[in-house]
Amino acid sequence: MSKGVTVWFTGLPCSGKTTVADKVAEILRKQGHKVERLDGDTVRKGLTSDLGFSKKDRDENIKRVTFVAKLLTRNDVMVLATFVSPYRERRRLTREEIGSFMEVYVRCSLEECMRRDVKGMYRKAFAGEIKDFTGVDDPYEEPLSPELILDTDRETVEESAEKVLDKMRSMGYL
């Protein structure tokens, strides 16, 4: 049986967090592991639909997700969480609360994130139609010491996923 862990993918919008985590989840499920995906877009439709994008609301969003991830992790589920989660202090608190935790910084140039943006969010943010957009008019605080950095503008989804699995193995989660 596998040990529970939360693998926290953080990075700019459209950096590849969801794409890589979905690939990792697919591989882990094929291997017979209990896996749950927590994704920013999905969570905001239910658990945190009452929240906006102010710093206070973003912190509350991650606080609620942390609670869910902690419950799943302690019940031996591998949680793959994909959230911009732009603030270091909130990520630190999440790490502390969950315990079995692996931070993955999904690093990608702003230019590539903008190119991948099928919803046109960056264009709207630069035009002033969306306020407090991470990477445009709200800061993204890069992790100082994540367990893993993926450069998704220079590696394939498969290469990134394999790096995540390798790190999970080296940390004793697989």
Q: Which of 85, 109, 145, 160 is catalytic?
A: 85
| pLDDT single digits (tens) 33-60 | 999 999 988 998 988 889 988 889 999 9
| pLDDT single digits (tens) 125-140 | 999 999 889 989 889 9
In this prediction, residue 1 carries a pLDDT of: 60
C-alpha separations of 79 from 8, 105, 165 in Å: 8, 16, 13
Rounded distance between C-alpha atoms, residue 134 and residue 58, angstroms: 11
Rounded distance between C-alpha atoms, residue 152 and residue 105, angstroms: 10
Across residues 145-165, what is the average pLDDT? 98
Q: Strand 5-10's sheet: what is its strand order? A: 35-39, 78-82, 5-10, 101-107, 148-151
Average of per-residue pLDDT values in the chain: 95
Helix (H) or strand (E) holding 15, with range, is none
In this prediction, residue 99 carries a pLDDT of: 95
Is residue 85 annotated as part of the catalytic site, yes or no?
yes
Class level of CATH domain 5-109+140-166:
alpha beta
Give the start-to-end residue ranges of the domains of the chain.
Answer: 5-109+140-166
User: How sure is the predictor about 61, in pLDDT bands with cuts at 50, 70 and 90?
Assistant: very high
Pairing relationship of beta strands 101-107 and 35-39 according to DSSP bridges: unpaired
Enter the pTM of the model.
0.95
